[in-house]
Amino acid sequence: MARGSRGGCGRRLGCSIGALVLVAALVLGIGWWVGQRGLPTGPDGPGPGPETPPEMAQPADCADVQLLAVPGTWESSPTDDPHNPTFLPEALLRTVTDPLSEQYPDDRLEVYTVPYVAQFRNPQKPEEIPYDQSRAEGTDRARAEMIATHEHCPYTSFILLGFSQGAVIAGDLTNEIGTGNGPVPAENVLGSILIADGRRLPGEGQSPGLSPGNGQGMEISLQPVTGFTQLVAGATMTGPRPGGFGTLNDRTAQICDSRDLICNAPLNVVDGAARFQEFLANNAIHAMYATNPDVIMGTTVPEWTIGHIRELTDGAPEIAHE
């Protein structure tokens, strides 16, 4: 009996030691698992958390938003001051850019008016620069400014604005950017406003006003007679923009008076030469966008444009300065 009691006790002792070993193993295992999970394991506190992304910052002379304004024909000069244009005080785009410059500080909104020759040689003005040369100069200068700004200020957002010849230039840049071939990424562009665009195509972009449904841009309608327009005005009728406005389509506003032959020429031009001569001789409505109440109901084009740019600017992120 005594031998049996000693044997039972030995077994119990062995069981107790085995249990202690198991508990120790579980404690160590749980500690390892908790450590792997990055949770607190003791008085030292939690392990390192995820890295915080660096704050966006750029040089102190960078604005949060740059408004790139491209004036129309005869409303600019290659020597004009882009930050204080004085070539034509009554230029249409100045009715937009002047109030915006007064409202916003330079570090919030920089207004840059592209200086270029802005001419259109024709029988009434034979001494002027051909349209193709003028448009190329304006495009090159606008593109170069966007590239330089983006390189120096990578987080600056852009708004494009153009009228007439300037609308063709701004629209072409919008097309480049929206189709992935532009001077800045599409995500850096807040919007584009094109007033009387000579390459307007119904269905492309958004119309904030009365969208003409009976015509299209002159450079599309007159493309079949581009040989004649080149001869008369050095003007190549370039047709529609390949790819439209791409990813910027919903951010592009097309504004056009249905009576304006620049942006609303007939779809089927029977006598292209005659229509081109008609444009050169009589297109007074093209010069009335500053006060015309019939393009955007309840307001004028400058008033709507100012409000739209304010909305875009106020919604843009504020970027810290280094």
Mean residue pLDDT across the chain: 84
- pLDDT exceeds cutoff 80 at 276: no
Residues of the chain with pLDDT > 90, as a percent, come to 67
Could you tell me the fold of the domain covering 62-321?
A: Rossmann fold (3.40.50)
**Beta-strand relationship, 252-255 and 189-195:** parallel
* Catalytically annotated residue among 164, 192, 207, 221: 164
Q: How many CB atoms lie within 10 A of CB 322?
A: 8
Write down the pLDDT at residue 132.
97
Integer Cα distance of 209 and 81 in angstroms:
32
pLDDT score of 282 more than 80 = no
Cβ-count burial of 52 within 10 angstroms (0-12 exposed, 13-18 middle, 19+ buried)? exposed
The model scores a pTM over 0.85: no
Is 150 catalytic? The answer is no
Q: Which of 192, 221, 286, 308 is catalytic?
A: 286
Q: What is residue 243's three-state secondary structure?
A: coil
pLDDT in tens, 54-103: 578 999 999 999 999 999 999 999 999 999 999 999 999 999 999 999 99
In the chain, domain spans: 62-321
For residue 9, count other CB atoms closer than 10 A to its CB: 10
Answer whether 136's CB lies under 8 Å from 235's CB: no
User: Residues 6 or more apart from 317 whose CB is under 8 A from it?
Assistant: 56, 64, 155, 157
Q: Can 258 be counted among the known catalytic residues?
A: no
